[in-house]
Structure 1
Amino acid sequence: MGFKAASYELGQPVGEMGNPARRGPHRRLPPDGVNEAVLALLRPKPDLSQLEGEPADVLAAAQAAVDAPDGLGTIASYVTEVALPATGTWSNPGKGGAQADIVITSPEDGVPLLFVELDNCYESAQVIAAKIDKYVRFCQRKVKDVDGKERPMWRTRWWVPDGRHGDGPHPPLLLVFNRVGPRNPNTSPAR
């Protein structure tokens, strides 16, 4: 029901709203972790007039948030748990594809398309590398578009300006490490 309500408010089809964040045996990232990442990237500005009478430390933190640089896009720029099929279709993805924790489209901020993968430091560097490989397979996949021309599958869903980014090599992937689990995130890139 939440997706239907969001679909109505944002004026987008339900099928483009993504999927609910979920937890599984290899996904130790609760939905709150995805929400926190969205808020950190979005960087909403508090309304200081709503904070009258609050303690000085709350007002100082709110003022710091107002003075901080703007974030990326609006809440409509974010979709969570998006299947990126290496096989199958958008509506019925096959095995071997990625599942983006967040997809951001904010061309007004110079970010036409960004995939975000979150890790709470429970997954090994090898598991993260395997996920990156799935993103690469998806980005390299070509399909015939509605005009009959073959192009990367991701270009059939998202618009990216021609020129500097074009079709190659692929949209960027942002890895976000949240220091919750036992692994030190600073050791992952080297591995």
Structure 2
Amino acid sequence: MLDLARHGITVSEGSSRDGNKLWSLTPHGLDAAAEALGRPADQMGGTARGAARSGAPHAMAVNETIIAITRTPATPTSPVPRQRTDSPSPPVAVEADVVGLRGIGLVGSWSTEVSLNLPSSRGTRTAVRADAVLQAPEADLPVLFVEVDNCTETPERLAAKFEKYRTYFRLKTRTTQGLELPVWRSRYAATGRDGHPPVAVVFNPGTRMGPEGLKNRMNTVLQQSRDVWSGTYRWHGTYGVGEERDGYYDYADAIPVLFTTLDRLQADGPHAAVWRRCGHGQFETLPDALANPKDHDAWALREETRRQQRDAERVEQQQAWGVQRERWTQEPALAPEPEPDPCERCGLPITGQPGILYDNEPPQDGRHCPTCRTDLQQQPMTLRQAFFGRPKQ
């Protein structure tokens, strides 16, 4: 490291609390590292913030986070020839991860202290500086922004960073073909999911905070940043009578915010259920945490299921109607009722004219219609009829 410092590639940043010497790359060192890794220089990040303050606890936590997620042993490199003639010590073989857990990405997949800039009247200004950025497309993770929280700043200040991230993610530019594209897409690949790129917060409370205090801190950050990660609910009407209304969450302008702790990553690895996405309510694996189970695709599947159910019910009803019609065609026709006898007085049916109701009609006599029976009953009696009664008609 001293030889690298003489060449202006590294610079001493003090010592950590456990006595380890800390070094950082100079701008020339970042350029040399970019050339060795075959990456653009603007993706190499910058010098860690406050690297020489208090033994660089934040920079050390970022390094430990990268190691916990990557879990790959350091690859041997060609040493820089020393300017002294002492015989070099034999190289020490680097042991693999003793835990045996798989990691995500390689050391070269990371960038640290990445500035996400916004245009301003004075050129550009930094919207937010990401502690680390992981690009691991081979693990279905094109880009993951990582914030390491040592629980030394207020939860409100931590939650405010997500709004700065969204301000940067909303920034648009135009391609040479005139197509509008988010600015972050000019540096990173598309995520393949709805919304903005994910941001993971790795909490590292150490001995500064107990489990209950850490839980309260997570809940405070979650509530303070709800507008950033919650998405917008879209209602959709239903086609059937009595069906419940259904809808989906639109995550087009939402950031998937993930919570985890450094202890969980170190103990279980990044492939375990150590990620808690804001809004999901439980720890999940990374693919499950990044999924959107309540998005438009999920609603479309439910809508397709409802459509198939309605079609099946319609077919079943048509089949039932067909069976009923076939039964009706097979039933014998009913014999027509015999026509009533005509009235002896007027010739109309003795039951009266069809469709007419007769009120207070005299009892049927089998010879006259209701009208004639009423007329005969209302005729005045003769002297003979008064003495001997009316003759039976």
TM-score, normalised to structure 1, is: 0.77
Separation in 2 of the partners of 1:99 and 1:29?
Answer: 17
| Paired residues of 2:133 and 2:145 also in contact (CA < 8 A) | yes
How far has the Cα of 1:43 moved from its partner? 0.6
Alignment of 1:39-188 (within 5 A): 39-45=67-73, 50=93, 64-65=98-99, 67-68=100-101, 70-88=102-120, 93-95=124-126, 97-160=127-190, 164-165=192-193, 168-180=194-206, 182-183=208-209, 184-188=213-217
Aligned to 1:5, which of 22, 27, 32? 32
What residue is the counterpart of 1:56 in the other structure? Answer: none
2: distance between equivalents of 1:175 and 1:63?
Answer: 24
Cα pair distance change 1:142/1:5, threshold 3 Å: same
Percent of aligned pairs with the same residue? 33
- Over residues 99-154 of structure 1, what are the superposed CA-to-partner deviations in whole Å (9 max), with x where a residue is unaligned? 11001110001111100011101011100111111111111111223433211111
Q: Distance in 2 between matches of 1:13 and 1:63?
A: 29
> How far, CA to CA, are the matches of 1:120 and 1:109 in structure 2?
27
Distance in 2, matches of 1:151 and 1:187, equals 38
Distance in 2 (alpha carbons) for counterparts of 1:146 and 1:186 = 48
Counterparts in 2 of 1:50 and 1:136: CA distance versus 1, 3 Å? same
Label 1:188 to 1:93 Cα distance change in 2 as closer, same or farther (>3 A).
farther
SS at match of 2:104: coil
Please list every run of at least 4 consecutive aligned residues from structure 1 whose deviation after the TM superposition is greater than 4 angstroms.
none
Partner SS, residue 94 of structure 1? strand
- Distance apart, 1:64 and its partner CA: 3.5
- Provide the rounded CA distance (Å) in 2 between the counterparts of 1:79 and 1:127: 23
Q: Which structure has the higher relative contact order (CA within 8 Å, separation 6+)?
A: 1
Does the 8 Å contact 2:72/2:107 carry over to 1?
no
Structure 2 residue aligned with 1:15: 42
**Residues 2 and 139 (structure 1), Cα distance of their counterparts in 2 relative to 1, 3 Å cut:** same
Gap runs ≥5 in structure 2: 1-27, 76-91, 221-393
Which residue identity is paired with 2:69? L
Query: In the aligned structure 2, how far is the partner of 1:146 from the partner of 1:80?
Result: 30
Compute the displacement of 1:181 (Å): 6.7
Structure with higher Rg: it is 2
Q: What SS does the corresponding residue of 2:173 show, helix, strand or coil?
A: strand
Aligned-partner residue type, residue 200 of structure 2: L
Q: Deviations over 1:26-59 (max 9, x none)?
A: xx75322211111111112489x948xxxxxxx9
Q: CA deviation at 1:7?
A: 1.0
User: In 2 relative to 1, CA 30–181 (structure 1 residues): closer, same or farther, beyond 3 Å?
Assistant: same
1:30 partner SS: helix
**2:72·2:97 contact (CA, 8 Å) conserved in 1?**
no
